Amino acid sequence: MSFRAEHNRLRGYITEIFLKVGLSQAYAETVADNLVSAEMRGVRSHGLVQVGNYVGLYKRGVYNISPKVRIVREDDTTAIIDADRGAGAPIGRLAVRKAIDKAKKSGIAAVSVKNATHFGMAAYYAAEAAEQGLIGFAFTNTPPLVAPFDGYKKEIGTNPICAAFPSASGRPIIFDAATSQAAYNKLFFARKEGRKIPLGWAVDGSGRPTDDPSAAIDNGALLPYGGYKGYGLAFIIELLTGILSGSNITPENTASSPSLDSIGQFFIAIDVSRFIDPSVFGAAADSFAARMLDSPQAGEERIFIPGEKEYLSFDDAEKNGLVIYDETTAELYSLGGELGVGMSLDECAF
């Protein structure tokens, strides 16, 4: 059955799970915060469903519990970080904070991460820049899950893009999306729940459109969002994250390869004040957003601006408790017992 949790206590529970796996206190807290924040924003594919996945990857040695993170190269506006396959969230946060600090001094900065692992929700990083009055971008490549335009084999990642902009309202305007028709975990959700997927999301192993999530997962591939446009975006994100960082490009990140999830990430921060008065930018951004709301189509109650639905989900979870769905609840109970976590999930009840 579903379970409604108080988000701060839930963060503590997830932190304890990763401490038991062997992560440091700081790393465990950041990973937990990243996953709970994603769940609160309604981004379930990058939320609590990843807890068990990460635990398994640490146990198998795919992710490094005690990475030797190092700065490979650095100057006033750029840096390259070698993550040594360490936890994606804390190293991603290190990278974006480095970009933010450099941008505040120099105007624009970019930080690349090589030998990285899954960093969760991209908005977690770009939003941090926007909350400090900067424009933030976050990109990552992934293992191959998507067919190129007019292809049918998994050759490129879901390669998301996230951009976050400051606004006068105080809440950043955020666009965060995979360049595939859907996040890969949505296929797993559909399979677990016995649902079909929309035609147009994926193809089977013969390249035929399929609504069967198992056919897409087992031998098929996701399709790029918007056809050649999504494919083109995924392609250039691959160049930014995989090649520019000196990390692996997507086709090298296969499930049978030890390079699994040894991926690349790229963060950009831009100081708005180097171009325009930040208050003018924020007010203009809000005014532009307000214009979008004036013309809903017939049958639609309203229009949302990028990131708004996620804020509504977050606010509801904060006010009324975070709903954790059946299988995830069972998995969290199981992980707590298996790892000997000192608190019960029941203690997280809202």
313 close to 199: Cβ distance less than 8 angstroms: no
Phi, psi of 308 (to 5 degrees): -70, -40
Query: What pLDDT is recorded for position 252?
Result: 57
Instruction: With CA atoms as reference, report the closest residue to 181 among 213, 158, 150, 165.
Output: 158
Instruction: With CA atoms as reference, report the closest residue to 249 among 229, 264, 230.
Output: 264
Q: Residue 47: CB partners within 8 Å, gap ≥ 6?
A: 35, 36, 38, 39, 40, 121
What pTM was estimated for this model as a whole?
0.94
Distance of alpha carbon 199 from alpha carbon 203, whole angstroms: 9
Q: What is the DSSP letter of 323?
A: E
**β-bridge partners, 341:** none
Strands, E assignment, 17-129:
70-74, 78-82, 108-116
For residue 279 the two structure tokens come to 């208050």
Q: What is the bridge-based pairing of β-strands 78-82 and 108-116? A: parallel
CA-atom Rg of the chain in angstroms: 20
Query: What pLDDT is recorded for position 259?
Result: 45
Domain ranges of the chain: 1-60+309-350, 67-180+226-292, 182-223
Phi, psi of 134 (to 5 degrees): -105, 165
Q: Residue 310: CB partners within 8 Å, gap ≥ 6?
A: 41, 42, 43, 123, 174, 176
As a CATH number, domain 1-60+309-350 is 1.10.1530.10
Strands in 134-140's sheet, in edge-to-edge order, are 70-74, 78-82, 108-116, 263-271, 134-140, 161-165, 173-177
Query: What pLDDT is recorded for position 261?
Result: 52
Query: What pLDDT is recorded for position 254?
Result: 52
* Residue type (1 letter), 322: L
Mean pLDDT of each 10-residue bin along the chain, 350 residues long: 91 98 98 99 95 96 96 98 97 99 99 96 98 98 94 94 95 97 89 92 95 94 96 97 83 49 90 98 96 87 94 98 91 96 94
**Cα torsion through 33, 54, 189, 316, rounded to 10:** -10
- Helix or strand (DSSP H, E) at 230: helix 228-238
As a CATH number, domain 67-180+226-292 is 3.30.1370.60
196 close to 210: Cβ distance less than 8 angstroms: no
Structural fold of domain 182-223: Wheat Germ Agglutinin (Isolectin 2); domain 1 (3.30.60)
